[in-house]
Chain A
Amino acid sequence: MRALLLTVLLLGGCGEVWNDPYPATERGKNILYSVFSERPKHLDPAQSYATDESQFTMQVYEPPLQYHYLKRPYELIPGAALEVPQPKIVEKEGSTFSVYEIRVRPGIRFQPHPGFVEGNLSLEREKIEKLKTPYQLPLGTRELVADDYIYQIKRLAHPQLHVPIFGLMSEYIVGLKEYSAKLKKELKPGTWLDLRQHALAGVERVDAHTYRVTLKGRYPQFAYWLAMHFFSPMPWEAEKLFAQPGMAEKNFTIDWWPVGTGPFMLTENDPNSRMVLERNPNYRGVPYPSEGEPGDAKAGLLADAGKPMPFIDKAVYTREKEAIPLWNKFLQGYYDLSGIGSDNFDQAVRITAEGDAGLTPEMEARGIRMDTSIEPTVFYLGVNWLDPVIGGSSERARKLRQALAIAVDWEEYLSVFANGRGVPSHSPLAPGIFGYREGRAGMNPVTHEWKDGKAVRRPIEAARTLLAEAGFPDGRDQKTGQPLVLYLDTTSRGPGDKAFIDWWRKQFAKISVQFEPRQTDWNRFQEKLRKGSTQLFIVGWRADYPDPENFMFLLNGPQARAKGGGENASNYSNPEYDALFAKMRHMPNSPERQEVIDRMVEMFRRDAPWIGGFHRKTFGLYHSWLGNLKPNEMADNKLRYYRIDPAKREAARQEWNRPVLWPALLILLAIVAGTVPAIRSYRRRERMAARPAV
């Protein structure tokens, strides 16, 4: 026992932290530590479509374009391309085509990869079976060429891949739909389909570093897609390597082992536990931006201007499924950055009397910093336009919706259920998107009025008046006298959702309308949306790119969910709106486009197909040793910009995680103290002549 106590004291005195979850060999290294909560499903640039996947893919793959890290509004700049391509509009046989000619920067090299070693493309199965990672094979590289981009565009039509944007792209890229049908015929089970042997009409090679994409009609938003991983280069050698028999059984596929020209390469892929990105030794070292928004220089965001990126050597992502360990490890300094969950909000953030969010003294004492940004999202209470009671373009239904839009207090909702992490929406457009208007001009006059320099929700009497005009005075049908009952389809059905349901009931009760939740599971909810059998529902949308088209299309009639499975979940139908949308989508950002958007927003407010909603606000926390951090809701390739001060982190970890030993000693003493009388009692009993009766 004495030896044990001595050991404990010695270990405690040696200054080492005991709760460090990382190997001792990593201490003091230039490594970023972060988390992922959802197991990534796809890392193939053609198939991946989730934000938590792009935190990996976008560090590895390099699309032709990217978003400027610092400038706002979001600006497209060249990625692997030499410049942002401008479409050439061509009229041919009565049809309009947009031709994008993309010039790839010469001299870019792929990461080290086994696919680039010829001998690896015809491996024996036994050798494959012995591999633990594909990187155990000899590695090679080669220069990035236009053919790699062309190969990837062809992959968008591959019959064996699930490409989420195939439907959309086949409407635009000339010949993509036919190409898919052709590949289906060519595909032989168990063999690799070499796409190089099959030409795609809409994509052509101009020279080794230039390719051309021809689109049907005008589609200016295509440039944004060129900044996404769908249009990253894919070397045919990687596909061929992983198509060998035995590779899939080892989980060696492009879907799990991405190959690219970006600043990092995925060297460890255990989606159950941890993912590791390491510096790509062949990366060319793109300089850090030298200009940004006003205030960026003062914030130290331009201190690294012109220096070659990336600044960190490695990024370790650990899977944390539960919020408690994640938050505590962040506070202990074992994660460099973190979001804020509802459970930790009060511990991390205090809201000032002016309504501004700031860090609590505990966070400030640790040097933690906070950034907030409005996400390009919109969450809304949708109305099914096909519903006979509340849907449709009749004056009665419109006034009913407007009354509800006044009654439902989204400001209160955000305060109660989201700790203020959001801003109420006055239009489908999220702040920061072209067409969004700030201040009074951006206020929805149907639901709000301007008072004391801010938008204030209209009094509930206004809602009651509208309800009476709609034929439901005091919440009763004036013809039948029956109470008006409205139904919300929701996936909130657990015991913890009672407060949520009660809140909604209270909103409707303000104007004496009865509220009934129809609680269901996610699958049934989606099915109801598809069939158009809901009445009210809450859904959300996160934009793919910062263009108003990517929000306004949520109300475009031809994309109604119940008719064609589109993203217009409320099935809103207004020919005038649709005509303006068709015009607006092809316009460049200009005062004329703003005017069209204003008219569309006005229609949206008048018709109220959504009973209000909100745009989500992100709160991000990061430690003082992490630099060059600026929220960017569009760029996913942010890792290259980050800078770490490992010595500062190490010192903080040591200070914050000193083992506290006295409780362990106390427990040991308690055990010893409890054992002694037991032993004495045992000995006494052993010496007794007879057992007491039991």
Chain B
Amino acid sequence: MLAYIVRRVLYAIPILIGVNLITFALFFIVNTPDDMARMQLGAKRVTPEAIEKWKAERGYNLPLMWNEKAEGAGRITQTIFVQKSVRLFLLDFGYSEDKRDIASEIRTRMWPSLALAIPVFVLGLVVCVSFALLMAFFRATYLDFWGVVLCVAMMSISALFYIIGGQYLFSKVWHLVPISGYAGGLDAAKFVILPVLIGVVGGIGGSSRWYRTLFLEEIGKDYVRTARAKGLAESVVMFRHVLRNALIPILTGVVVVIPLLFLGSLLAESFFGIPGLGSYTIDAIQAQDFAVVRSMVFIGSVFYIVGLILTDISYTVVDPRIRFE
């Protein structure tokens, strides 16, 4: 297994370089270093000298990817791409364009993101699997039919609708929870109850319908018939046999997102005023803060690769027949 993991980690290096290259290209197709300087310096009384100074201080006065004026390897290394990218691989994220330490920001902001994402993930998984099992259990009955209809309806509704509707009902009309905001420690609970509820409810439609399909596929297999023939109770059949065998495709989608929980939710964090990494990324995109965008995309890529490796490992846990080669 170790050899497999090492190999996957080595594969990750060219992937990360590629992701970094694409991020760089996409960002600088839309923005030039001059645009970035103007965005940071504001619209009033900005002189060409101030722009040049801003660029020089941050290394944006270099050519993007090829330095004609340099010699030898400097033609590649004395460029914005290399200068900004190499440090990322050493996990040195540097400073945002407004001179805030990015690593420090990430350390601070990942906790609010996790406070929202972990409950949504865990509760969402439990609720969706339970609901899907219930529908599978009552398959071909009205409960199943209306359950599927509900799922289709719920997955057709925009996440924004859940957020605004939830804020309207629970906060504005019923006054049960704060409409937005955040506080550290245990005080966070009253602020995350609503976004967690909305996150879980918003995810029920799509996930439950998918899990139901998986369970129904398993239910029709011979080993399930054998289990029933043995006289096992339906609940035992569902939980001990069907659920366990349906776990592999569930794991494919679930384990890979675990590391990404750190990155937070772009939409929910903005609407609920949660100062997590999701809103950090959105702010950075709006402010054309390449240093932050680059760092967040890099971290996202690393976490995604880690998630994929974890998924592979988890296969061996739930299915002993799977071996790494």
Which residues of chain A have a CB within 8 Å of any CB of chain B?
Answer: 17-21, 23, 39, 41-42, 49-50, 159-160, 162, 164-168, 248-251, 253, 255-256, 270, 272-273, 318-322, 324-325, 328-329, 331-332, 334, 521, 523, 526-527, 565, 567, 657-661, 663-664, 678, 681-682, 685-686, 691, 694
Known: A321-B279, A325-B273. A162 touches B179 (CB 8 A): no
Instruction: Please indicate the chain A residues that have their CB under 8 angstroms from the CB of B31 in the complex.
Output: 523
- Interface contact B177-A18, CB-CB below 8 Å: yes
Chain B, 155-191, CB within 8 A of any chain A CB = 164, 167, 169, 171-183, 187, 190-191
Q: Does B143 contact A (CB under 8 A)?
A: yes
Instruction: Please indicate the chain B residues that have their CB under 8 angstroms from the CB of A249 in the complex.
Output: 101, 104
Known: A41-B40, A322-B271. A164 touches B45 (CB 8 A): yes
Of A166, A250, A325, A685, which is in contact with the most chain B CB atoms at under 10 Å from its CB?
A325
Known: A255-B99, A685-B234. A664 touches B174 (CB 8 A): yes
* Cβ 8 A contact of B47, one of A18, A324, A565: A565
- Of the stretches B70-78, B132-140, B247-255, B316-324, the one at the interface is B132-140
Instruction: Please indicate the chain A residues that have their CB under 8 angstroms from the CB of B47 in the complex.
Output: 166-167, 565
* Cβ 8 A contact of A694, one of B45, B109, B140: B140
**B14-51 toward A: CB 8 Å interface, digit per residue (1/0)?**
00000000000000001110110011111111111110
- Interface contact A318-B181, CB-CB below 8 Å: yes
* Cβ 8 A contact of A565, one of B48, B95, B137, B167: B48
Q: Does B98 contact A (CB under 8 A)?
A: yes
Question: Closest chain B residue to A685 by CB distance?
Answer: B234
* Cβ 8 A contact of B137, one of A159, A663, A682: A682
What would 21 A/B residue contacts be, using CB atoms closer than 8 Å? A21-B180, A41-B98, A165-B45, A168-B45, A248-B99, A249-B101, A272-B283, A319-B275, A321-B270, A321-B271, A324-B167, A328-B171, A567-B44, A660-B173, A664-B174, A664-B176, A682-B234, A682-B235, A686-B233, A694-B140, A694-B220
Q: Does B81 contact A (CB under 8 A)?
A: no
A322 CB, min distance to chain B CBs, angstroms: 5
Instruction: Please indicate the chain B residues that have their CB under 8 angstroms from the CB of A319 in the complex.
Output: 273, 275
Instruction: Please indicate the chain B residues that have their CB under 8 angstroms from the CB of A250 in the complex.
Output: 101, 104
A49 CB, min distance to chain B CBs, angstroms: 6
- Interface contact B137-A18, CB-CB below 8 Å: no
Which residues of chain B have a CB within 8 Å of any CB of chain A?
Answer: 30-32, 34-35, 38-50, 53-54, 57, 95, 98-101, 104-105, 108-109, 134, 137-141, 143, 164, 167, 169, 171-183, 187, 190-191, 220, 228, 233-235, 270-273, 275, 279-280, 283, 287
Instruction: Please indicate the chain A residues that have their CB under 8 angstroms from the CB of B34 in the complex.
Output: 527
- Interface contact B101-A251, CB-CB below 8 Å: yes
- Interface contact A686-B275, CB-CB below 8 Å: no
Known: A41-B98, A527-B35. 14 other contacts (CB 8 A): A17-B175, A18-B175, A18-B176, A19-B179, A21-B180, A159-B53, A162-B53, A167-B50, A248-B95, A251-B104, A318-B273, A324-B271, A325-B179, A329-B179
Docked CA distance A521–B285 (Å): 14
Of A255, A318, A321, A664, which is in contact with the most chain B CB atoms at under 10 Å from its CB?
A321
Known: A164-B50, A166-B50, A565-B47. A273 touches B182 (CB 8 A): yes
Known: A272-B275, A325-B273, A664-B174. A164 touches B46 (CB 8 A): yes
The 7 lowest CB-CB distance pairs between A and B, nearest first, are A272-B275, A325-B180, A523-B35, A21-B178, A273-B275, A21-B181, A660-B174
Docked CA distance A691–B48 (Å): 80
* Cβ 8 A contact of B45, one of A42, A167, A320, A329: A167
- Interface contact A660-B99, CB-CB below 8 Å: no
Known: A328-B167, A523-B32. A49 touches B45 (CB 8 A): yes
- Interface contact B98-A659, CB-CB below 8 Å: no
Question: Closest chain A residue to B181 by CB distance?
Answer: A21
Docked CA distance A331–B35 (Å): 39
B230 CB, min distance to chain A CBs, angstroms: 13
Docked CA distance A289–B219 (Å): 81
Docked CA distance A93–B178 (Å): 69
Instruction: Please indicate the chain A residues that have their CB under 8 angstroms from the CB of B44 in the complex.
Output: 49, 164, 567
Docked CA distance A387–B172 (Å): 53
B265 CB, min distance to chain A CBs, angstroms: 13
- Interface contact B271-A325, CB-CB below 8 Å: yes
Docked CA distance A173–B100 (Å): 32
* Cβ 8 A contact of A659, one of B100, B174, B190, B228: B174
Known: A42-B98, A272-B280. A19 touches B143 (CB 8 A): no
Known: A685-B234, A694-B140. A270 touches B275 (CB 8 A): yes
Known: A322-B271, A325-B179. A567 touches B138 (CB 8 A): no
- Interface contact B139-A694, CB-CB below 8 Å: yes
A45 CB, min distance to chain B CBs, angstroms: 15
Instruction: Please indicate the chain B residues that have their CB under 8 angstroms from the CB of A658 in the complex.
Output: 175
Docked CA distance A99–B50 (Å): 28
Known: A167-B50, A250-B104, A272-B275. A567 touches B45 (CB 8 A): yes
B34 CB, min distance to chain A CBs, angstroms: 8
* Cβ 8 A contact of B175, one of A166, A657, A685: A657
Known: A250-B101, A325-B273, A663-B169. A320 touches B175 (CB 8 A): no
Docked CA distance A319–B276 (Å): 13
Instruction: Please indicate the chain A residues that have their CB under 8 angstroms from the CB of B53 in the complex.
Output: 159, 162
Docked CA distance A248–B178 (Å): 35
- Interface contact B42-A50, CB-CB below 8 Å: yes
Of B181, B190, B275, which is in contact with the most chain A CB atoms at under 10 Å from its CB?
B181
Instruction: Please indicate the chain A residues that have their CB under 8 angstroms from the CB of B138 in the complex.
Output: 678, 681
Of B32, B139, B143, B182, which is in contact with the most chain A CB atoms at under 10 Å from its CB?
B182
- Interface contact B275-A253, CB-CB below 8 Å: no
Question: Closest chain A residue to B269 by CB distance?
Answer: A321
B181 CB, min distance to chain A CBs, angstroms: 4
Of B101, B178, B183, which is in contact with the most chain A CB atoms at under 10 Å from its CB?
B178
Instruction: Please indicate the chain A residues that have their CB under 8 angstroms from the CB of B140 in the complex.
Output: 694
Known: A167-B50, A328-B179. A162 touches B41 (CB 8 A): yes
B177 CB, min distance to chain A CBs, angstroms: 6
- Interface contact A19-B167, CB-CB below 8 Å: no
B71 CB, min distance to chain A CBs, angstroms: 24
Instruction: Please indicate the chain A residues that have their CB under 8 angstroms from the CB of B45 in the complex.
Output: 49, 164-165, 167-168, 567
B161 CB, min distance to chain A CBs, angstroms: 13
B138 CB, min distance to chain A CBs, angstroms: 7
Docked CA distance A64–B77 (Å): 49
Question: Closest chain B residue to A319 by CB distance?
Answer: B273
Docked CA distance A204–B270 (Å): 49
Of A250, A272, A664, which is in contact with the most chain B CB atoms at under 10 Å from its CB?
A272
Docked CA distance A321–B43 (Å): 21
A266 CB, min distance to chain B CBs, angstroms: 15
- Interface contact B275-A663, CB-CB below 8 Å: no
- Interface contact B273-A526, CB-CB below 8 Å: no
Of A41, A256, A329, A521, which is in contact with the most chain B CB atoms at under 10 Å from its CB?
A41
- Interface contact A320-B32, CB-CB below 8 Å: no
Docked CA distance A33–B109 (Å): 23
Instruction: Please indicate the chain B residues that have their CB under 8 angstroms from the CB of A164 in the complex.
Output: 41-42, 44-46, 50
Known: A23-B187, A49-B42. A324 touches B174 (CB 8 A): no
Docked CA distance A162–B45 (Å): 11
Docked CA distance A446–B95 (Å): 54
Question: Closest chain A residue to B276 by CB distance?
Answer: A272
Docked CA distance A42–B287 (Å): 14
Instruction: Please indicate the chain A residues that have their CB under 8 angstroms from the CB of B139 in the complex.
Output: 694
B190 CB, min distance to chain A CBs, angstroms: 8
Of B35, B176, B183, which is in contact with the most chain A CB atoms at under 10 Å from its CB?
B176
Instruction: Please indicate the chain B residues that have their CB under 8 angstroms from the CB of A694 in the complex.
Output: 139-140, 220
Docked CA distance A255–B97 (Å): 13
- Interface contact B174-A663, CB-CB below 8 Å: yes
Question: Closest chain B residue to A272 by CB distance?
Answer: B275
Instruction: Please indicate the chain B residues that have their CB under 8 angstroms from the CB of A325 in the complex.
Output: 167, 179-180, 271-273
Instruction: Please indicate the chain B residues that have their CB under 8 angstroms from the CB of A255 in the complex.
Output: 98-99
